[in-house]
Amino acid sequence: MTAPLENYHARMQRVLDYIDQHLDGDLDLETVSKVAAFSKFHFHRQFTATFELSVHRYVQLARMKRASHRLAVRGAQSVTDIAMDAGYDAPDAFARAFRQRLGQSPSAFRKSPDWEPWLTAFGPLDNARNKLMQIIFDQDDVTIRDVPPTPVAILEHRGDRSTIPDTRRRFTAWRKAAGLSPETNPTFMIFRSERMPAVPADYSMDLCIGTDLPVEPDDAPIKPGVIPGGRCAVLRYPGNTTNLEPAALYLYRDWLPASGEEARDFPMYSRRQLALIPNVEAHEVVLELFLPLK
């Protein structure tokens, strides 16, 4: 990375940090552009071009995310106070915006948070920060584990990646109907093809959730399966992302040749689970990439 680009990223990082630390303050365009020392006449376009969302949208999402944290801590604040702190003049307006974004009312979320839509709703915030993150792996980031066999329920995705959201919706609907939660049952993706095959229709991937419950015939196209046990190289990925290509590239191109290990005849797969951090208001995503070894 060139020195000018590093400086640009540092200035943009300063803006994100300032916004996150001053959500109760005045975060208009003039204020945040001064933090980055950019012209306010161009800053909104620079911010949007860099992060793929506007300053106003980023602030909205950041305030809503903080509100969801406070709701999850039952009894900490009233819904009305949380709505006001999020910048809404009335609880009804806050409730409408909250339901539209997370699929639950604030009171329902406080009683029983559904964290999977939460991750999706606030994904743009993670993506914004990832734009400035240059993830560099080294040998110490990889551990070799003996992984036990894991019974799973599987929904196969075959075909163009553009239809993955539909596959995810069907899988999520089945998971919820079966009473399986990503907080207690880890989810897996088994990558059976390249991420971007030359022929888009050749893309192949399995969505799985760990469970030893029987899969009934009426549950088709869900089917039972097992992720085989054995030795695996495991790379833990920082943060929540759907793009594991940098991690996969590192394992195949750099780690495997230097390790003296050989890959086993089973595809690379990822494991994701939500974990509540003690004394912290949000959920952490535990995301790991597994390369099966001989």
Strand ranges, E, within the chain: 142-147, 150-158, 187-191, 204-210, 223-227, 230-237, 269-276, 283-292
CA distance 286 to 97: 28
Which residue is associated with the tokens 């089973």?
266
Q: How many domains does the chain have?
A: 2
**pLDDT higher than 80, residue 212:** yes
Q: Decide: pTM greater than 0.85.
A: no
- Listed residue (189, 190, 198, 195) closest to 245, CA to CA: 195
Residue 64's pLDDT band, with cuts at 50, 70 and 90, is very high
Number of neighbouring beta carbons within 10 Å of residue 235: 22
Q: Are residues 91 and 194 in the same domain?
A: no
Q: Are residues 62 and 99 in the same domain?
A: yes
Query: pLDDT tens across 167-192, in order?
Result: 988 998 899 889 898 778 889 999 99
Lowest mean pLDDT among 19-28, 84-93, 218-227, 274-283: 274-283
Classify residue 170 as exposed, middle or buried by CB count within 10 Å of its CB (0-12, 13-18, 19+): middle
Q: Are residues 145 and 277 in the same domain?
A: yes
CA distance 179 to 7: 49
For 24, 231, 271, 272, 283, the CA distances from 286, given in Å and listed in that order, are: 30, 20, 8, 6, 9
pLDDT of residue 281: 45
Strand arrangement, sheet containing 150-158? 142-147, 230-237, 283-292, 269-276, 187-191, 204-210, 150-158, 223-227
Token digits for 44? 């909104």
pLDDT of residue 275: 62
What is the span of the domain harbouring residue 202?
Answer: 139-292
For 13, 23, 72, 142, 170, the CA distances from 122, given in Å and listed in that order, are: 18, 16, 15, 28, 21
- Which residue, 84, 106, 131, sits at the end of a domain? 131
pLDDT of residue 280: 43
- Which residue, 103, 131, 159, sits at the end of a domain? 131
Residue 126's pLDDT band, with cuts at 50, 70 and 90, is confident
Q: Are residues 143 and 163 in the same domain?
A: yes
What is the distance of C-alpha 39 from the center of its chain? 32
CA distance 118 to 116: 5
Q: Are residues 28 and 112 in the same domain?
A: yes
Q: Are residues 151 and 256 in the same domain?
A: yes
Residue 133's pLDDT band, with cuts at 50, 70 and 90, is low
Query: pLDDT tens across 241-291, in order?
Result: 667 888 888 899 899 999 999 999 999 999 987 765 444 444 566 789 999
Residue 239's pLDDT band, with cuts at 50, 70 and 90, is low
The number of CA neighbours under 13 Å toward the Cβ of 260 is 0
Query: pLDDT tens across 189-209, in order?
Result: 999 998 888 898 999 999 999
CATH number at residue 150: 3.20.80.10
pLDDT of residue 146: 97
Average pLDDT, the chain: 86
- Which residue, 131, 162, 185, sits at the end of a domain? 131
Q: Are residues 150 and 127 in the same domain?
A: no
pLDDT of residue 278: 43
Which of 34-43, 54-63, 71-80 has the largest mean confidence?
Answer: 54-63
Q: Are residues 179 and 56 in the same domain?
A: no
- Residue by residue, DSSP assigns 218-251 as GGTT-EEEEE--EEEEEEEESS--S--HHHHHII
Q: Are residues 85 and 167 in the same domain?
A: no
Q: Are residues 103 and 150 in the same domain?
A: no
Q: Are residues 7 and 115 in the same domain?
A: yes
Query: pLDDT tens across 68-114, in order?
Result: 988 887 666 888 999 998 889 888 999 999 999 988 999 998 888 88
